[in-house]
């Protein structure tokens, strides 16, 4: 028998049901979960979808656990949370070291307890039990949509604009593929082992094949090896940190030469670095806007599951584009009118919307 510690934090329910992922990690803490739940509140508010913020976690090391152990852990965790969960109350999603299978177990456990199938209790499910098309690419696609609007506003020609992407996982990999299709020139890509660089542009298909075979982009024949630190300092039009938090700090922010920094990851830039980047004239698309495509399509999945009426991938992508483009310009308008950076503009918009909901509803009892 093993006893694990699990958390579920609700930060705000003022604008709708709690929404947020569940992560399995040996080092996760309650303070971390609280902070992530708050982040979800602002992220949902900035793109104006009707959710509040939540986050969950179990302190465990899934790499040391069998599939059966993970299933038993997940079902027990779900059972303990039954009083909080529900399509109108709290809708979990995958996060670090959880995936669509984890969501399937949660959905099944919840359904068995209530006595009928409830696909809308989670998002990020497999398509076979009510998942949404387009969900897997949604976060990276949202990053690209905000970049496209930013280069229009800044007057940077799209064709041949240079891009460096830190991270070649789900978000970074999707962003790289979509940016290439849009005519950008991806000159550098990295993963946890290091990066590869080619000033003339990388062959993304060949790079993806190399990553599949070698497990890393390092050693790619079509580029020269660089470190993650060197990638962040490259001269380029667009830099996309899509890996870990706290990558751009007070120590290296002055080395950033990109014109646009689009945060595919959560919290890749520290507050101290923010000030340096703003003074340098780097246009930062903050994480709560840039990577909100994932939670937006999670909202679409929830809507589809409730209605039991499913959309094509083209419909999902078109609706995502509408929301991301509108949200970018709402934040950009605040940035321009109030003469603040884009991050502060995004928080002003998000906190304002939550505060308005709070005051409109009033206090009871």
Looking at the chain, how many residues does it have?
365
The catalytically annotated residue of 19, 43, 55, 259 is 55
Strands of the sheet with 52-59, listed across from one edge: 6-12, 52-59, 18-25, 90-94
Residue 55 known to be catalytic: yes
Structure tokens at 82: 């039954």
Nearest CA to 291 out of 258, 260, 267, 269 is that of: 267
Active site residues: 55
């Amino acid at each position: 028998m093993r006893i694990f510690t699990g958390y579920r934090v609700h930060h705000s329910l003022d604008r709708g049901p709690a929404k947020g992922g569940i992560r399995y990690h040996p080092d996760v803490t309650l303070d971390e979960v609280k902070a992530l739940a708050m982040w979800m509140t602002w992220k949902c508010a900035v793109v104006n979808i009707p959710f509040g913020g939540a986050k969950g976690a179990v302190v465990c090391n899934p790499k040391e656990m069998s599939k059966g152990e993970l299933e038993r852990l997940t079902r027990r965790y779900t059972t303990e949370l039954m009083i909080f969960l529900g399509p109108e109350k709290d809708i979990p999603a995958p996060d670090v070291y959880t995936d669509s299978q984890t969501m399937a177990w949660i959905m099944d456990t919840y359904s068995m307890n209530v006595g009928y199938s409830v696909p809308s209790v989670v998002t990020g499910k497999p398509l076979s039990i009510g998942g949404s098309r387009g969900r897997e690419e949604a976060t990276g696609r949202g990053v690209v949509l905000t970049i496209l609007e930013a280069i229009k506003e800044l007057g940077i020609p799209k064709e041949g604009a240079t891009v460096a992407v830190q991270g070649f996982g789900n978000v970074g990999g999707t962003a790289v593929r979509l940016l290439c299709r849009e005519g950008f020139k991806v000159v550098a890509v990295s993963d946890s082992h290091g990066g590869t660089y080619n000033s003339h542009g990388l062959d993304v298909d060949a790079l993806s094949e190399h990553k599949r075979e070698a497990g890393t982009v390092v050693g790619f024949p079509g580029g020269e090896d660089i470190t993650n630190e060197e990638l962040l300092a490259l001269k380029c039009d667009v830099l996309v940190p899509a890996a870990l938090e706290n990558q751009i700090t007070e120590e290296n922010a002055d080395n950033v030469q990109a014109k646009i920094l689009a945060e595919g990851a959560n919290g890749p830039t520290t507050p101290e670095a923010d000030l340096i980047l703003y003074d340098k004239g780097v246009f930062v698309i903050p994480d709560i806007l840039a990577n909100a495509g994932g939670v937006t399509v999670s909202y679409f999945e929830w809507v589809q599951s409730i209605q039991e009426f499913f959309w094509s991938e083209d419909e999902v992508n078109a609706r995502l584009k509408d929301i991301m483009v509108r949200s970018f310009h709402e934040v950009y308008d605040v940035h321009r009118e109030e003469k603040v950076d884009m991050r502060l503009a995004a928080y002003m918009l998000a906190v304002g919307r939550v505060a308005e909901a709070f005051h409109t509803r009033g206090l009871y009892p």
